[in-house]
Structures are given as structure tokens and as C-alpha cells.
């Protein structure tokens, strides 16, 4: 009996020790994960703060690199203690502004709608998606060809209504009929809802440039990109010095610009095995960078 009792007590003690060690390991791993996640988040936020400072310097007339699509993909390293955050700055005015599809009075802007349809075609997407976007924004309840109004969205699970207002973020596109994940992945880098309303030809994506007019070719776009690398445009009429653009300039003059104030900043940091990414959109001035959008991934 004494032996049985001894074995039983030892077994119970062993179970208690194993349970204690297991709990301690889990709590330690959880604490370490939380520590790394917190450090990574604040390191990534440091990248946002550095980007805001650079944007204000640029607005004061300083020279900046990294705003063109060709350079935005290269993250700028920022030392944070013993680690690094990497951030990139993307000019939102280098994309087609969806909020320009509707005029201030709530009517369709045909010039911008044609531009959007051409962009969809160049991206090998259904141009009738433009109708769905218009229905999402306009105030009437009559669906366009390829579009949908509240009667369609209310039949979904969960149901919701068409917004009937301007976009607050590009993420809203995912709520619109036809904008599946594959479509979103293809179109996201070419459209915005934050800009001055003109396509900045100094930073516009190749697709956004080519969609400006049916007569613009890939070769013309490549020539424009080479030209702006050597010397950025200071006025929209300077685009005519690029071969082929003299003829199309009268048709695209109201769509283009040469300056920007709206920028998207993506900043990432990895601490051990934990990474965090933050995305923000700023409207920059010489004295401030106002946050228009913020998201943590």
C-alpha cells in the first residue's frame, strides 16, 4: 500500500509539474509574441512619421525621390533601435480618381466615365463594371447596364444598401457588384479616391496614362516616363514635347495636372518572426500632413 501510495503521489506531482511547465511556456510565448507584435507595430508607425516629415519637406520646396511608380516599390529603410522599418510613398494623384465620375451636382461626368471604361479595358476587365460603380455613387435607383442598385444589394447576405455618395476609401469597391478579389487585385494600384482631381503626369501609372485617350500608345507612354525622369513637367502643356502627345493634348488637358498633395504611405517592420504593416493616406502641406485614411494589417 505504501508503494502504491508513493507511486500515485509521484505521478500526481509529475502531472502537476508538466501542467505548470506547459502553462508557463504558453504564457511566455504569448508574452513574447505580444512584445514582438507591439514593437513591430510601433516600428512601422515610426515609418509613417518619417514619411510625414519627408512630405512636409517636399511641400516646402525640398527635393524628394521615390514618388513615381517606378521608385515607390523600393522601401526606404528607417533604423529603429536594432531593427528596421521600411516605408514607401505613393502619389495618389498618379491614379485615376473614382470620385470624379460624378460631378459636384451629382450628375455623371462623361469625360471621366469614358476614361474609366478605357482603364478597365486596358486592365483586361469588363468595362461594364463602370456602370456598377456609377450606380453605387449616384442618387437614383435605376440600374445602368452591368450595374446594380439597392434592390440587388438588399438581396445579399448580409443585405446592405447602395451608398449613393462619393467613395471614402478604395476598399468600398469590394462591396460593389462584380468587384471580386481578382478584380480588386488588378485595379487597386490604378485608382484612388484621394486626389486633387487631376491625374499627375509626373507620377501616373502607365495604365492610367494610356487610358487617357484611345490614341495614346504604349510607346508614347514609355517615352513620357523617360522624359519625366530626366525633367519633371512643370505645366501640363509641356507634355506636348513628348512625341505623339501634341495631337491628344486638347482632349486630355482637363484630365491632367503636374502636382500632388495626396500620398499613400506603406510602412512595415519585422521583429523576430512577427511583422506588422500600416497604411495611411495623407494630404500634405508645408506645415502638416493630415490623415485621411489609416489601416493596420
If you average pLDDT over residues 127-154, what whole number do you get? 91
What DSSP element (H or E) covers 191?
strand 191-192
Domain residue ranges in the chain:
39-95+260-297, 98-190, 202-257
Nine-digit cell at 36?
Answer: 514582438
pTM: 0.83
Spatial separation of the C-alpha atoms in residues 98 and 163, rounded to whole Å: 14
If you average pLDDT over residues 21-38, what whole number do you get? 74
Nine-digit cell at 33?
Answer: 509574441
**18 contacts: CB under 8 Å, gap ≥ 6:** none
Q: Could you tell me which of 221, 225, 256 has the C-alpha nearest to residue 100?
A: 256
What DSSP element (H or E) covers 230?
helix 218-230
pLDDT reported for residue 7: 75
**Residue 222 banded pLDDT, cuts 50, 70, 90:** very high
260 or 65, which is more confident: 260
pLDDT reported for residue 21: 66
**216 contacts: CB under 8 Å, gap ≥ 6:** 209, 210, 244, 245, 248
pLDDT reported for residue 190: 95
**278 contacts: CB under 8 Å, gap ≥ 6:** 41, 44, 45, 47, 48, 266, 267, 268, 294, 295, 296, 297
- Looking at every residue in the chain, the average pLDDT score rounds to 88
Spatial separation of the C-alpha atoms in residues 239 and 221, rounded to whole Å: 11
Dihedral sign for Cα atoms in the order 225, 230, 233, 238: negative
If you average pLDDT over residues 127-143, what whole number do you get? 91
Q: Could you tell me which of 240, 259, 242 has the C-alpha nearest to residue 251?
A: 240
pLDDT reported for residue 71: 47
Domain at 39-95+260-297: CATH code: 3.30.1300.30
If you average pLDDT over residues 231-245, what whole number do you get? 94
**Residue 24 banded pLDDT, cuts 50, 70, 90:** low
Q: Which residue has the cell 462619393?
A: 166
Answer whether residue 70 shows pLDDT above 70: no
pLDDT tens string 177-215: 999 999 999 999 999 999 988 999 999 999 999 999 999
Domain at 98-190: CATH code: 1.10.40.60
Spatial separation of the C-alpha atoms in residues 147 and 19, rounded to whole Å: 59
* Per-position DSSP letters for 147-187, written without gaps between them: ---HHHHTTSSS------S--S-GGGGGGSTT--HHHHHHH
Answer whether residue 73 shows pLDDT above 70: no
Spatial separation of the C-alpha atoms in residues 69 and 260, rounded to whole Å: 14
If you average pLDDT over residues 91-95, what whole number do you get? 94
Nine-digit cell at 34?
Answer: 505580444
Give bridge partners of residue 78 from the DSSP assignment. Answer: 85
Amino acid at each position: 500500500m505504501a508503494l502504491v501510495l508513493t507511486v500515485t503521489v509521484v505521478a500526481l506531482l509529475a502531472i502537476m509539474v508538466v501542467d505548470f511547465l506547459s502553462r508557463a511556456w504558453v504564457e511566455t510565448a504569448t508574452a513574447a509574441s505580444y512584445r514582438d507584435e507591439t514593437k513591430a507595430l510601433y516600428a512601422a508607425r515610426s515609418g509613417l512619421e518619417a514619411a510625414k516629415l519627408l512630405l512636409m519637406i517636399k511641400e516646402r520646396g525640398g527635393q524628394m525621390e521615390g514618388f513615381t511608380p517606378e521608385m515607390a516599390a523600393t522601401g526606404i529603410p528607417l533604423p529603429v533601435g536594432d531593427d528596421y522599418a521600411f516605408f514607401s510613398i505613393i502619389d495618389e494623384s498618379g491614379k485615376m480618381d473614382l470620385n470624379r465620375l460624378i460631378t459636384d451636382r451629382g450628375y455623371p461626368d462623361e469625360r471621366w466615365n469614358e476614361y474609366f471604361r478605357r482603364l478597365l479595358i486596358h486592365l483586361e476587365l469588363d468595362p461594364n463594371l463602370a456602370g456598377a460603380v456609377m450606380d453605387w455613387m449616384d442618387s437614383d435607383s435605376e440600374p445602368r447596364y452591368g450595374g446594380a442598385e439597392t434592390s440587388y444589394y438588399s438581396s445579399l447576405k448580409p443585405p446592405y444598401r447602395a451608398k449613393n455618395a462619393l467613395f471614402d476609401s478604395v476598399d468600398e469597391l469590394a462591396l460593389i457588384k462584380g468587384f471580386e478579389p481578382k478584380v480588386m487585385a488588378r485595379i487597386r494600384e490604378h485608382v484612388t479616391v484621394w486626389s486633387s482631381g487631376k491625374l499627375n503626369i509626373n507620377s501616373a501609372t502607365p495604365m492610367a496614362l494610356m487610358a487617357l485617350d484611345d490614341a495614346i500608345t504604349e510607346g508614347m507612354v514609355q517615352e513620357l516616363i523617360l522624359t519625366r525622369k530626366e525633367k519633371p513637367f512643370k505645366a501640363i502643356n509641356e507634355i506636348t514635347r513628348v512625341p505623339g502627345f501634341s495631337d491628344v493634348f486638347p482632349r486630355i488637358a482637363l484630365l491632367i495636372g503636374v502636382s500632388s498633395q495626396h500620398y499613400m504611405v506603406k510602412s512595415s517592420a519585422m521583429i523576430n518572426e512577427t511583422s506588422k504593416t500600416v497604411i495611411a493616406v495623407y494630404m500634405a502641406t508645408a506645415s502638416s500632413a493630415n490623415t485621411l485614411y489609416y489601416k493596420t494589417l
